[in-house]
C-alpha cells in the first residue's frame, strides 16, 4: 500500500522546490471526502487515489498532477464540487480534475461505432492538457491491478476496454511499462488458463533463462569494455502478453519461441550507440532485416533506440536495444518524461505535443467513426508513415501519402514512368493510402507519362510539382510546334530577322515560336512586324489531336469555315467562322485555317430533329444515323407540347458532305417533321441523369415496338 509520506519524499527528491504542503493537504482533503467508502477489495477507498498518485510520482509528474491523482475521484464519487477543488487547490488542479472526471463519465460500448465516438470525445476533452490523460492512465492501471475483486462481467468489460483503448494510448504516449503491465494484467484476467500455462512453462525454463541472461550480460559488457566503451547492460524477460501474442500470431508453441530474452545496452552518447552495435554484431550473428535505426528515424511517439536481433548461444534469438540514458528515460516514461519538472527547457515538449493538436483537428473533422477507429488503432497520433522500398530503404512520407508520392520520392523519373505498384507483394492502385511498414515496389515503363488525374492521387509537394512541371514542359513543346507551323504555313517563312524578333520583344526564334503558339503574340502583331508578307491559311492536316480541338460551342466540322484561337493549355481551339464567340475577343488574332479531315477521323456536331410522337420513332432515327455511318455521342429529348418532340443529337461525322448525307437519311424517317444542323446543341456538358434515364427508357420502348411491328 502506498503511503503519503513515501510519495512526498519521492517528489521532493526529483523536484525539491515543489509544494509538498499542497500534496499533503490534497491527501487530507481526499481522505476526508472518501471517508467511509470502501474499495471492492475491502480496503479504505483512499488507498486508490494514493496508489494513483504514487504511479504519477514514479513518472516524475509535477505537483498539480500528483494532487489531481489524489483528488481525481472526489468530484465523481463524493459531495465535493469542482468549485470546492478550485477554491482549495487552484484553477490548474480543478481543470485537471474536471478533465479526469469527464473521461470517467464516458462509457465505452463494445459496438465499434460508439467506441470510436467516445474515444474521439475523450481525446478532445484531454487534448487541452495531456496530464489529464496521464492521470487517467495511472487510474486505469491501478484499477487493473485490483481487477480481481470485480465481478466476472466487469472484469471482461474493463479488461477489453483497457486492451482496446488505454494500452494503445499508453503506447502512443510512449509510456511503455504502463502498456506492458496493462497487457499482462488483461491477459491474466481474461485468458486465465492460457496465462497460467504460459507462466508455468516460463517458470520451468526460468532458471535456465536467468543463467543465460546473466552470462550474456557479462559477455556483452566485457566485449564493450575491451573496445573502451562504457555501458550498462540489462537483460530481461519479454513480457508475457507479448510472448502470448507471438504464439497466437505465428501459431507456434512456447518451445518454438526463441526470443524470450531482450537486452538493453545503455551508453553515454549517440556515437557510442553505433559503436556498441558494431561490437554486438561482431559477437553474435545478426538476423538479416531486423536492424532498425530509430535514432535516425524516431518512432512517431518520439521513441529512439537502435534495435537488432542476433543469434546467441544455443540458437537463442536475442533482441538487443541500444540507446543513451536520455533515450532510455524517454523510452520508459514517454511524454511523461518531458513533463517531469523541466520548466524552462520545454521547447522540445511543445514539439512532442504537436501531434496531439493535429490529431484533435483531424478528429473534429471526422464524420465516420468506424473508419476513424481503424485509423486510430493502427496509426494513432502519427504524422508520418514510414515505408520501405523493395531494397529495404526507409522513406518517410506525410500521413495520407499514396503510391505515387512514394514513386516520386524515390526519383522523379520513377514517378514519371510509373505504371503500377505492388504493396507488400500485391498489385495495388494509386488511390490507396500507404501504411506504416508497407513495402512498396514501383513498376515503370519508358512509354508511361503522367496524367492530370495523378494530381488527385498525390499529397507531397514534390510529386505535385513534378507532375505540373511535366505538363508545363509538354505545353511548351506543343506551343513550339504550333508556333513553328504558324510561321511556316500562315506566314510562309522558316526564320525571321532580328528586327522582327526585336519588334515582337522576343530574345530568339524559340521564344517567338512558343509565344506565337500560345497566343501570347497575336498574328497581327507579327504581321505588323513583317509587312511584306501575305497571310495564308494554316493547314491542319497531320496535326495531333492534342494540339487542336473543335470548340464545343459551335462544333465545326471539316468543310466549315473555321478560325483558330490559341492558348497555352489547350493548343488551338477551332471555331466555326460564324460562331458567336468570334464577336468577342481580338478577332484579328484569330488564325484562318484550312481544314481537312483525315479518312476515318470523326468530328462532333449537333443535329436538331422535330418528330411526331410515334411509337418507335426515336429508335428509327437512331438506327438511321448509325446506318449512315455516323455515331451518336449524346442525345436529349424536349417535349414541345402537343404531338411533337424535339430531339437533339450530338453525332460524329467526317465532314459536311457526310453530315448532309446523314441529315437526308433522317428526313426520310417516318414521322420526322424537320431536321437541321444545330450548333449550340447544349449537349456539350453531361445531360442530367434523370433526363438521360427517361430518354433511354423511351429508346428501349421504341426499339421493342419496332421489333414487334416487323
Ligand atoms: Mn479512480
Neighbours of 564 (CB within 10 A): 25
Q: State the catalytic residues.
A: 76-77
Q: Are 464 and 503 in contact (CB under 8 A)?
A: no
Q: Report CA(135)–ligand 1 centroid distance (Å).
A: 9
Residue for cell digits 488483461?
186
Q: Report CA(53)–ligand 1 centroid distance (Å).
A: 10
> Average pLDDT for consecutive 10-residue bins of the chain (710 residues)?
90 87 95 91 93 93 92 91 94 89 64 50 56 89 92 88 82 81 93 88 81 89 90 87 83 74 90 88 82 79 84 81 88 65 42 47 46 38 64 73 93 93 88 81 91 88 88 85 83 82 88 86 80 72 66 83 79 81 68 72 86 79 86 75 80 89 90 82 39 44 39
Q: Report CA(379)–ligand 1 centroid distance (Å).
A: 28
**Per-residue cell: 548:** 487542336
Domain ranges for the chain: 4-192, 193-343, 470-596, 603-705
3-class secondary-structure state, position 324? strand
pLDDT for residue 109: 52
3-class secondary-structure state, position 455? helix
Element holding 83 (H helix, E strand): helix 82-105
Homologous superfamily, domain 603-705: ACT domain (3.30.70.260)
Q: Are 680 and 646 in contact (CB under 8 A)?
A: no
**Per-residue cell: 677:** 444542323
193-343 topology per CATH: Beta Polymerase; domain 2 (3.30.460)
Q: Report CA(94)–ligand 1 centroid distance (Å).
A: 16
Alpha helices for 128-239 (secondary structure H): 130-145, 152-161, 167-172, 176-190, 192-226
Q: Report CA(50)–ligand 1 centroid distance (Å).
A: 10
What's the rounded Cα separation, in Å, for the pair 346 and 353? 11
pLDDT for residue 355: 46
Looking at the DSSP assignment, which residues form a beta bridge with residue 676? 608
User: What architecture is domain 4-192?
Assistant: Orthogonal Bundle (1.10)
What's the rounded Cα separation, in Å, for the pair 641 and 302? 73
Q: Report CA(73)–ligand 1 centroid distance (Å).
A: 5
Q: Report CA(104)–ligand 1 centroid distance (Å).
A: 8
**Per-residue cell: 367:** 464524420
pLDDT for residue 631: 81
What's the rounded Cα separation, in Å, for the pair 453 and 122? 39
pLDDT for residue 680: 54
Q: Report CA(71)–ligand 1 centroid distance (Å).
A: 9
3-class secondary-structure state, position 663? helix
- All residues with CB under 5 Å from ion ligand 1: 73, 139
Angle made by CA atoms 550, 555, 561, in degrees to the nearest 5? 80
Q: Report CA(187)–ligand 1 centroid distance (Å).
A: 21
Q: Report CA(93)–ligand 1 centroid distance (Å).
A: 16
pLDDT for residue 310: 86
pLDDT for residue 598: 66
Q: Are 551 and 575 in contact (CB under 8 A)?
A: yes
3-class secondary-structure state, position 102? helix
What's the rounded Cα separation, in Å, for the pair 223 and 377? 41
3-state secondary structure 331-374: HHHCHHHHHCCCCCCCHHHHHHHHHHHHHHHHHHHCCCHHHHHH
Q: Report CA(353)–ligand 1 centroid distance (Å).
A: 25
Residue for cell digits 480541338?
549
Amino acid at each position: 500500500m502506498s503511503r503519503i509520506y513515501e510519495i512526498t519524499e519521492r517528489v521532493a527528491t526529483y523536484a525539491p522546490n515543489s509544494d509538498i504542503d499542497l500534496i499533503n493537504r490534497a491527501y487530507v482533503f481526499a481522505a476526508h471526502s472518501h471517508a467511509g467508502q470502501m474499495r471492492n477489495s475491502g480496503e479504505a477507498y483512499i488507498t486508490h487515489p494514493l496508489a494513483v498518485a504514487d504511479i504519477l510520482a514514479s513518472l516524475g509528474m509535477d505537483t498539480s498532477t500528483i494532487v489531481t491523482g489524489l483528488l481525481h475521484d472526489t468530484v465523481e464519487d463524493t459531495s465535493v464540487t469542482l468549485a470546492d477543488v478550485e477554491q482549495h487547490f487552484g484553477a490548474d488542479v480543478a481543470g485537471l480534475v474536471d478533465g479526469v472526471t469527464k473521461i470517467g463519465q464516458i462509457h465505452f460500448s463494445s459496438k465499434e461505432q460508439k467506441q470510436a465516438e467516445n474515444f474521439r470525445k475523450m481525446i478532445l476533452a484531454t487534448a487541452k492538457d495531456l496530464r489529464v490523460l496521464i492521470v487517467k492512465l495511472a487510474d486505469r492501471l491501478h484499477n487493473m491491478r485490483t481487477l480481481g475483486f470485480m465481478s466476472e462481467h466487469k472484469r471482461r468489460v474493463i479488461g477489453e476496454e483497457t486492451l482496446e483503448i488505454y494500452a494503445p494510448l499508453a503506447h502512443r504516449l510512449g509510456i511503455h511499462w504502463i502498456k506492458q503491465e496493462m497487457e499482462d494484467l488483461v491477459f491474466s484476467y481474461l485468458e486465465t488458463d492460457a496465462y497460467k500455462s504460459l507462466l508455468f512453462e516460463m517458470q520451468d525454463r526460468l532458471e535456465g533463462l536467468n543463467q543465460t541472461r546473466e552470462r550474456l550480460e557479462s559477455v556483452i559488457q566485457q566485449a564493450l569494455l575491451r573496445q573502451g566503451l562504457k555501458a550498462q547492460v540489462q537483460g530481461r524477460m519479454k513480457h508475457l502478453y507479448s510472448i502470448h501474442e507471438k504464439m497466437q500470431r505465428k501459431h507456434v508453441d512456447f518451445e518454438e519461441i526463441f526470443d524470450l530474452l531482450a537486452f538493453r545496452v545503455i551508453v553515454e552518447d549517440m556515437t557510442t550507440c553505433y559503436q556498441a552495435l558494431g561490437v554486438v554484431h561482431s559477437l553474435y550473428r545478426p538476423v538479416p532485416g531486423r536492424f532498425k535505426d530509430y535514432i535516425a528515424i524516431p518512432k512517431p511517439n518520439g521513441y529512439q533506440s537502435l534495435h537488432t536481433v542476433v543469434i546467441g548461444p544455443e540458437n537463442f534469438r536475442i533482441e538487443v536495444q541500444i540507446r543513451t540514458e536520455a533515450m532510455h528515460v524517454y523510452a520508459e516514461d514517454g511524454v511523461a518524461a518531458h513533463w517531469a519538472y523541466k520548466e524552462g527547457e520545454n521547447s522540445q515538449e511543445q514539439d512532442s505535443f504537436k501531434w496531439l493538436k493535429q490529431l484533435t483537428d483531424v478528429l473534429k473533422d471526422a464524420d465516420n467513426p468506424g473508419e476513424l477507429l481503424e485509423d486510430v488503432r493502427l496509426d494513432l497520433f502519427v504524422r508520418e508513415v514510414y515505408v520501405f522500398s523493395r531494397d529495404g530503404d526507409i522513406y518517410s512520407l506525410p500521413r495520407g501519402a499514396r503510391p505515387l508520392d512514394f514513386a516520386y520520392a524515390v526519383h522523379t523519373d520513377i514517378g514519371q514512368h510509373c505504371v503500377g505498384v505492388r504493396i507488400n507483394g500485391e498489385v495495388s492502385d494509386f488511390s490507396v493510402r500507404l501504411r506504416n511498414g508497407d513495402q512498396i515496389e514501383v513498376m515503370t515503363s519508358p512509354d508511361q507519362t503522367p496524367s492530370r488525374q495523378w494530381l488527385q492521387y498525390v499529397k507531397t509537394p514534390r510529386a505535385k510539382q513534378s507532375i505540373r512541371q511535366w505538363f508545363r514542359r509538354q505545353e511548351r513543346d506543343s506551343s513550339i510546334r504550333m508556333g513553328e507551323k504558324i510561321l511556316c504555313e500562315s506566314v510562309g517563312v522558316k526564320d525571321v530577322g532580328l528586327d522582327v524578333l526585336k519588334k515582337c520583344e522576343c530574345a530568339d526564334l524559340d521564344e517567338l515560336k512558343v509565344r506565337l503558339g500560345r497566343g501570347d503574340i497575336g498574328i497581327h502583331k507579327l504581321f505588323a512586324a513583317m509587312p511584306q508578307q501575305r497571310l495564308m491559311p494554316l493547314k491542319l492536316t497531320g496535326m495531333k489531336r492534342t494540339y487542336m480541338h473543335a470548340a464545343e460551342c459551335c462544333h465545326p466540322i471539316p468543310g466549315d469555315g473555321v478560325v483558330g484561337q490559341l492558348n497555352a493549355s489547350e493548343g488551338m481551339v477551332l471555331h466555326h467562322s460564324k460562331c458567336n464567340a468570334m464577336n468577342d475577343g481580338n478577332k484579328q488574332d484569330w488564325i484562318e485555317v484550312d481544314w481537312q479531315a483525315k479518312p476515318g477521323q470523326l468530328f462532333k456536331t449537333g443535329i436538331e430533329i422535330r418528330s411526331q410522337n410515334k411509337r418507335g420513332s426515336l429508335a428509327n432515327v437512331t438506327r438511321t444515323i448509325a446506318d449512315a455511318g455516323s455515331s451518336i455521342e449524346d442525345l436529349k429529348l424536349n417535349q414541345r407540347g402537343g404531338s411533337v418532340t424535339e430531339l437533339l443529337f450530338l453525332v460524329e461525322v467526317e465532314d459536311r458532305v457526310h453530315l448532309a448525307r446523314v441529315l437526308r437519311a433522317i428526313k426520310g424517317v417516318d414521322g420526322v417533321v424537320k431536321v437541321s444542323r444545330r450548333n449550340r446543341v447544349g449537349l456539350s456538358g453531361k445531360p442530367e441523369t434523370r433526363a438521360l434515364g427517361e430518354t433511354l427508357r423511351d429508346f428501349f420502348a421504341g426499339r421493342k415496338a419496332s421489333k414487334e411491328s416487323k
